[in-house]
Chain A
Amino acid sequence: MDNNTGRIVRVSGPVVIAEDVKNAKMYDVVRVGKMGLVGEIIRIRGNRSTIQVYEDTSGIRPDEAVENTEKPLSVRLGPGLLTSIYDGIQRPLNLLRQESGDFIARGLTAPAIDEKKLWDFIATSENGSRVSEGDFIGYVQETDLIRHSIMVPFGVAGKLAGIKSGKFNVNQTIAVIESEGGKTEIRLSQDWPVRVSRSVRRKLPPDVPLITGQRVIDSLFPVAKGGTVAVPGPFGSGKTVVQHQLSKWADSDIVVYVGCGERGNEMTEILTTFPELQDPKSGKPLMQRTVLIANTSNMPVAAREASIYTGITIAEYYRDMGYDVALMADSTSRWAEALREISGRLEEMPGEEGYPAYLGRRLSEFYERSGNAEVISSSTRRGSITIVGAVSPPGGDTSEPVSQNTLRVTRVFWALDASLASRRHFPSINWLNSYSLYQRDLAQWYNANVSGEWENIYSSTMGILQKEAELQEVVQLVGYDALPEKEKSVLDIAKMIREDFLQQSAFDDIDTYCSLDKQFMMLSSIIRMGKLQSDALDRGVTMSMLQGIASREKISRMKEVREDDFRNYHEGLMAEMEQQITGLKGGR
């Protein structure tokens, strides 16, 4: 064995301890053993380095070599990221398949982005111009949907030379930047360490909603572009479907989907459905704006820990180009469990429920990488990252550490509810427990862009739902028949809101996406119905008479009506309601 390499002295699951690793620094990437498994140094004590290995360590023995690459764990950033599907450490899964077949073998390496493909580079800066970090010098059309701007890497500034348009692969030099310190060659791609966030000039307040087409979200618990959402829920409550719906329909430019310790078949579902789905605006396949990171539950646990960082770094790169990026992390609990597992193997002193004491810090560091921001560049440009993190609390009990630490740092909370799910009320977002701290800030936007009535309709809706919860308790005591007619009407309208508005089928071609206009019209017709009923009751009409009117049926069919036909349908419905209810004669 040559003197430059370290030597393994202990192997215990994904944790390997080695002696005399050359120039060992924290978070250096190393190659472990004869198979050359990828690992990362996570602790140094004297001449001993503790390494977390991103692949299964079966068959590795003490005395095998450890080689230090002396580079931190990094991702490759450049054209070709979109439409890719990666494992937790940015190895493209389709290339791994070509190399090792249907099962993932160990010790494989593959270039993260295609190095042979030639891209049409269009220069937008001229030779001799002065450029600094973050400036655009040109672009390539990465997919039909996304123009990929080539930026001056961080830490580089000077005079541009040798830039020209043409066909290049990601490793070829497209320009040189000359400064006093020397020359820097610029390529279409650059590397960035995943554990270091890419800085921005300043963070801006989030003031535009991320429109998701999901009624309960957009209307009641909206998230701003650049915001953070926690989606906790027990299994079977529909976390993954919510995440899928958002990555399909949210109006962000780029979607990064991190499947972190979840099911293999779910990733397959994304892979088969996304290429067939079309972007509602451009008609192009949604896959063209998507990067997938799939580290399923049975793939190595250390790579699961890394997958979240790989995802957020890619998101930051596109934000720096000025795009609105949505990052879905499903599920952060699995990531936290990976931390716990590694921490246990390191024999660290455990904190709550065996999680390491630094769990809260790591979670807040991650969510802090979101935001609406002015990015670093000599021209003014903004971009945003919205993070939607699913949490899988054991037994659905959100008092556990991962949920609690997540709720401390996120501003929107969609509480998924097992009892709603069991009666097939989807999305099973509980309207009483959920909240959005952006609601107030975004109300202005809604009032200006959808309807001036928005705010009123919103408060009426929440008021009715709240009232329903109180009345339900009374019903438990005295029975429904004992309620006054007015209160029966509140229950009736609340039921309409729940069943005819909040419930939305992700699997129905029409209902899967609902525009803000349609949402507003649907809700306003239900609220109008409530008003008309209340007036009629004052005239002495009874609830049983009101329940017989024909337009109720039309309210329950609103979901099935196409966007294009909806305005007509809505106007017809409003007129019908008015006429039918005012036509009822009171019994007094």
Chain B
Amino acid sequence: MPELNYKSISEISGPLLFVEQVPNAAYNELVEITMPNGETRTGQVLDTRSGLAIVQIFGQTAGLDVKRTSVKFLGRTATVSVSDDMLGRIFNGLAQPIDQGPPILSKERIEIVGNAINPVSREEPSEFIETGISTIDGMNTLVRGQKLPIFSGSGLPHNLIAAQIARQAKVLGKDENFAVIFGAMGITSEEANFFVNEFRSTGAISRSVLFMNLSSDPSMERIILPRMALSTAEYLAYEKGMHILVILSDMTNYCEALREISSAREEVPGRRGFPGYMYTDLSTIYERAGKIRSKNGSITQIPILTMPGDDITNPIPDLTGYITEGQIVLSRDLQRKGVYPPIDVLPSLSRLMNQGIGKGRTREDHRGVADQLYSAYANGKDLRSLSAIVGEEALGTSDKLYLKFADEFERKFVNQGRMEDRSIEGTLDLGWEILSQLPVSDMKRLKKEYLTKYGKWQEEKDAVS
């Protein structure tokens, strides 16, 4: 199609432009919109028919009109120009620099809607990432190529945790090219400043790429930002062989932008007004994490989302949990008790944990310790609610031990400093230490040989020796 400027807009509705007399715009084609005052906006074709194109605008629609605004179809789908000069820089949602630095000049342009990785080409993620946080390393282990979201709520310290992970994450015994890509969608300028300062003060900025879309920025850019960020990540990982950690915050804002467009298009809404295709849409973001057999690099994702009303059944955490390989859930209860990081291990899960732990990776007793901690803590928490009804006095002796265990677990194992970087051995030993308050006969998840090798029960050791 020739590059013509169309001035035949018939309707503007929310972020959508209806452009008539367009013979054949391509689906998902990129467009440039020139406003009456000369400013330009970018957009994308959402629906195309003979004679009509429906365009979604990225950016503010204030100042658009139907008479003088012109639309140019660019004949290509959205791309991002990538290079390793992007490290250390800050961009907006459309990958334009916003740090007063020079533009990125590169011949490499890649499409931002990546094709799906062929499942045959994937490599099973199995390299343990030590984050230095006991509840993650010990009980919900993160591995390279995994997507593990943090389910948080407003007012909970998910940003601190994300920053701590970004700062401390390492693969044991390996010194490889590592970088962080941070995609911020609709976060406040204070939160954004926190991350920028955090990255600057630790020197991490030189190995980071930041994409920023603040809450005051156009919400439509939130739709495109994670794709810009992930395309950059794919370039650095698969072309440059780097190991990339992608942090996306806050996916709730992304989903709300998606709902905004869907309602502007007058689509049939699904649960809570979110579009029926939200699962598919989210999967095109999350499934871009992974490792490819023939390539060196990898992409690990930690998306952060705030659960509206702390409700894990809300469609945003719900659909996310069905795609990602587990989740780290933060708890307001623990936060109130002053526990940092307030990670509630019971609903948390890492599906790829088994591949990353055990002999030769972390330690042989890892699985057993994690399972035993889980079941003992679950038991302790049940008893806690029981004792609230019948009183602690009505509990049996061993029940009282479990009650005490649950407290100790929260205070010693979960709780740690913001700067505290625990080694995996330290975490597991700590687990054994607090388990030793319980009767050794209850340790059904632990193999006998490990009980004698790592266990801290005095009688047990005496009995053996």
Contact = CB atoms under 8 A, between A and B. Distances in A.
Co-assembled chains A and B: yes
Interface of A: 9-13, 17, 56-64, 85, 93-94, 96-97, 100-106, 234-236, 259, 261, 263-265, 267-269, 271-272, 294, 296-299, 301, 334, 337, 340-341, 344, 350, 353-354, 392, 394-397, 418, 421-425, 475-482, 499-500, 507, 552-553, 556-557, 560
A334 B279 contact: yes
A297 B279 contact: yes
B55 to A, nearest CB: 13
A58 B313 CA distance: 33
A382 B282 CA distance: 44
Contacts of B322: 235, 392
B120 A476 contact: no
B326 interface: yes
Interface string B395-419: 1100100000000000000000000
B115 A103 contact: yes
Given A103-B116, A104-B118, A267-B119, A62 B49 contact: yes
B270 A354 contact: yes
Contacts of A421: 349
A93 to B, nearest CB: 4
B24 A97 contact: no
6 contacts: A236-B327, A264-B287, A297-B279, A353-B271, A422-B374, A480-B396
Contacts of B396: 480-481
Contacts of B26: 11, 58-61
B23 A63 contact: yes
A53 to B, nearest CB: 10
Given A235-B322, A294-B119, A556 B347 contact: no
Contact of A354 (B122, B268, B378): B268
A427 to B, nearest CB: 14
B24 A62 contact: yes
A392 B315 CA distance: 13
Given A62-B23, A344-B276, A553-B441, A265 B374 contact: no
A63 B26 CA distance: 10
A341 B146 CA distance: 27
Given A63-B50, A102-B117, A296-B287, A265 B77 contact: no
A318 to B, nearest CB: 23
A479 B396 CA distance: 9
A479 B395 contact: yes
Contacts of A61: 1, 24-27, 29, 48
Given A63-B24, A103-B116, A264-B119, A341 B280 contact: yes
B12 interface: no
A11 B354 CA distance: 44
Nearest to A425: B375
Contacts of B121: 97, 101-103
Interface string B409-434: 00000000000000000000000000
B318 A235 contact: yes
Interface residues of B, number: 86
Given A298-B287, A423-B374, A556 B444 contact: yes
Contact of A56 (B115, B288, B294, B391): B115
A296 B389 contact: no
> Which of A57, A105, A265 gathers the greatest number of chain B CB atoms within 10 Å?
A265
A235 B312 CA distance: 11
B321 interface: yes
B323 interface: yes
Contacts of B346: 422-423
Contacts of A57: 27-28
Contact of A263 (B115, B312, B323, B441): B323
B124 interface: yes
B56 to A, nearest CB: 13
B315 A85 contact: no
Contacts of B124: 265, 268-269, 272
A294 B50 CA distance: 35
> Which of B123, B125, B280, B295 gathers the greatest number of chain A CB atoms within 10 Å?
B280
Contact of A12 (B47, B119, B123, B290): B47
A10 B23 CA distance: 11
Contacts of A337: 276, 279-280
A57 B295 CA distance: 28
Nearest to A479: B394
B277 A341 contact: yes
B120 A354 contact: no
B390 A479 contact: yes
A9 B50 contact: yes
Contacts of B294: 102
B394 to A, nearest CB: 3
Contact of A296 (B114, B119, B146): B119
Interface in B341-397: 346-347, 349, 351-352, 354-355, 367, 371, 374-375, 378-379, 386, 389-391, 394-396
Interface in B144-171: 145-146
A85 B120 CA distance: 8
**5 closest A-B pairs by CB:** A395-B313, A479-B394, A423-B378, A297-B283, A235-B321
B242 interface: no
B270 A93 contact: no
Interface string B261-294: 0000001111100001101100110011010111
A13 B277 CA distance: 11
B374 A301 contact: no
B275 to A, nearest CB: 8
A10 B50 contact: yes
B65 interface: no
A271 B120 contact: yes
Nearest to A334: B279
Interface string B107-132: 00000011111111111110000000
B32 interface: no
Contact of B367 (A63, A102, A394, A507): A507
A490 to B, nearest CB: 15
A491 to B, nearest CB: 11
Contacts of A235: 318, 321-322, 327
Contacts of A261: 279-280, 283
Interface in B439-463: 441, 444-445, 447-448
B115 to A, nearest CB: 4
Given A423-B375, A560-B447, 14 more contacts: A62-B49, A96-B118, A104-B115, A106-B115, A261-B279, A261-B283, A264-B117, A267-B122, A298-B280, A394-B313, A394-B315, A394-B318, A423-B379, A424-B375
B217 interface: no
B260 interface: no
A340 B349 contact: no
B198 interface: no
Contacts of B256: none
B310 interface: no
Contacts of A297: 279-280, 283, 287, 323
A232 to B, nearest CB: 13
A17 B50 CA distance: 10
A236 B120 contact: no
